[in-house]
């Protein structure tokens, strides 16, 4: 257990942050507060993954909630062979796949979207434009290619972690990631006519 001391007035308070294994042990005894701490710890990463895969905030919120509900219901099945976050990613990816099959597409940019490159927007606007471009290209990738690219490049998971999340061999992952990067660059050039920055 990691401990931090916090001085308040003349009193020193010892604040302890429970480790993942301690929280899991408490969860298995039905401790809802421990599960709430796990949700707090991982919710942003799960939500961001869903948002990057689905391109829709409402769907991403639904998937994040569904991920944690499934995790709670199946906590007894988590053996601890992988990290908790890897297990949560696996649940979230499967929920995203189901949502994509139901929707059949990721929301693309509006038809009338025109990047105004000659305008000097400043740093914030440039980042927004870059994000919109990345989202537009990701939306055109097939589901398997989009999954590996988002997990590797945006969530920075290792090859072993991604292979575990997707249930594929590392060799398959490497070739799929190579193809995803190649296809991403090709679509980028077709859509925006320049090299990726």
Query: Mind spelling out the 3-state secondary structure of 54-83?
Result: HCCHHHHHHHHHHHHHHHHHCHHHCCCCCC
Give which of 71, 93, 91, 62 is closest to 23, Cα–Cα. 71
Please enumerate in sequence order all residues whose Cβ is within 8 A of that of 85, keeping only pairs 6 or more positions apart, or say none. Answer: 42, 45
Low-confidence stretches of the chain (pLDDT beneath 50): 1-15, 106, 109, 113, 115-121
Q: What is the CATH number of domain 111-197?
A: 1.10.10.10
* Predicted local distance difference test score (pLDDT) of residue 1: 41
d(C-alpha 184, C-alpha 178), whole Å: 10
For domain 28-107, which architecture applies? Orthogonal Bundle (1.10)
Give which of 27, 67, 24 is closest to 43, Cα–Cα. 67
d(C-alpha 135, C-alpha 160), whole Å: 25
Please enumerate in sequence order all residues whose Cβ is within 8 A of that of 38, keeping only pairs 6 or more positions apart, or say none. Answer: 20, 23, 24, 27, 84
pTM: 0.64
Task: Tell me if residue 194 falls in helix, strand or coil.
Answer: coil
* Predicted local distance difference test score (pLDDT) of residue 84: 85
* Predicted local distance difference test score (pLDDT) of residue 54: 85
Dihedral Cα 25, 28, 31, 32, nearest 10 deg: 120
The token duo for 46 is 């799960």
* Predicted local distance difference test score (pLDDT) of residue 120: 41
* Angle separating helix axes 57-73 and 84-103, nearest 10 degrees: 130
Distances (CA, A) of 115 to 64, 112, 126, 196: 31, 10, 10, 15
Please enumerate in sequence order all residues whose Cβ is within 8 A of that of 145, keeping only pairs 6 or more positions apart, or say none. Answer: 176, 179, 180, 183, 184
* Domain limits, the chain: 28-107, 111-197
Neighbours of 81 (CB within 10 A): 8
């Amino acid at each position: 257990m990691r401990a931090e001391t916090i001085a308040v007035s003349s009193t020193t308070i010892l604040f302890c942050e429970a480790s993942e294994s301690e929280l899991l042990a408490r969860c298995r005894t039905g401790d809802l507060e421990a599960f709430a701490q796990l949700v707090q710890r991982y919710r942003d990463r799960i939500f961001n993954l869903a948002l990057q895969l689905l391109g829709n905030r409402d769907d991403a919120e639904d998937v994040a909630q569904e991920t944690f509900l499934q995790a709670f219901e199946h906590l007894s099945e988590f053996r601890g062979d992988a990290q908790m976050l890897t297990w949560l990613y696996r649940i979230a990816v499967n929920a995203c796949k189901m949502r994509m099959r139901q929707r059949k597409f990721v929301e693309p940019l509006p038809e009338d979207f025109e990047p105004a490159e000659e305008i000097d927007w400043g740093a914030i606007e440039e980042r927004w434009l870059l994000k919109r471009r990345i989202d537009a290209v990701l939306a055109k990738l097939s589901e398997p290619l989009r999954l590996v690219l988002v997990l590797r490049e945006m969530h920075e998971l290792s090859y072993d972690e991604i292979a575990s999340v997707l249930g594929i061999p590392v060799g398959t992952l490497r070739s799929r990631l190579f193809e995803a990067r190649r296809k991403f660059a090709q679509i980028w050039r077709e859509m925006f006519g320049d090299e990726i920055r």
